[in-house]
Amino acid sequence: MPQQAPTPPELPRLPRELRFAFVEASWHADIVQRSRDAFFAEMARAGFGPEAIDVFDVAGAFEIPLHAQRLAQSGRYAAVVGSALVVDGGVYRHDFVAASVVQALMQVQLQTGVPVICAVQAPHHFHEHVEHRKFLQQHFGTKGAEAAQAVLFTVAGLRAIDAQG
């Protein structure tokens, strides 16, 4: 018997005047943009259209935290999302880069009080063949939807805490 797709969670309702920022790395754009597309689709399901989300392109994962920090400090955004694919190669090991980015994004949210959701993925091995790229595109789609859910539930939870006074 074929498995049924899981029912998407009911999303919290938030004020429509809220804005969100999505920072995406341009390296491996065909994969990373799947995260953005899925994020937009899930945010639309919650009532936030593209006019509520600003997209910022950066070169790679390493550039995301500084952008996230400036965006969070601006006071314009209820939450910021960073998305990138970190692969082996270059000067730095991919696990070092991914861990550095995650740690920096955590610092940004703790210092600013603005949720910063991380959709930075670092697979153990990256292969340029078609099947692996297709797998990662699908995976990034899942991660984009999960990032939107994390944004919505985190913002709703923080607003509830603030409302308690």
The string of DSSP codes covering 106-124 is: HHHHHHH-S-EEEEEE--S
According to the annotation, is 42 in a ligand binding site?
Answer: no
Active site residue 93: yes
The residue with tokens 């899925």 is 38
Q: How far apart are CA 141 and CA 122, in angstroms?
A: 15
According to the annotation, is 62 in a ligand binding site?
Answer: yes
Out of 34, 36, 45, 93, the active site residue is: 93
According to the annotation, is 156 in a ligand binding site?
Answer: no
| Residue 25 backbone dihedrals phi, psi, to 5 degrees | -75, 140
According to the annotation, is 146 in a ligand binding site?
Answer: no
Buried-state track 37-64, b at ≥16 Cβ within 10 A, e below 16: ebbbebbeebebeeebbebbebebbbbb
According to the annotation, is 116 in a ligand binding site?
Answer: no
According to the annotation, is 22 in a ligand binding site?
Answer: no
According to the annotation, is 130 in a ligand binding site?
Answer: no
According to the annotation, is 63 in a ligand binding site?
Answer: yes
Beta strands at 53-58 and 20-25: parallel, antiparallel or unpaired:
parallel
Residue 90: other Cβ atoms inside 10 A:
11
What is the Cβ-side half-sphere exposure of residue 112, based on CA atoms within 13 angstroms?
A: 24
Catalytic positions, written as ranges:
93
Binding residues: 27, 61-63, 85-87, 132
- Annotated binding-site residues for (2S)-2-hydroxy-3-oxobutyl phosphate read 132
Residue ranges for the known binding site for 5-amino-6-(D-ribitylamino)uracil are: 27, 61-63, 85-87
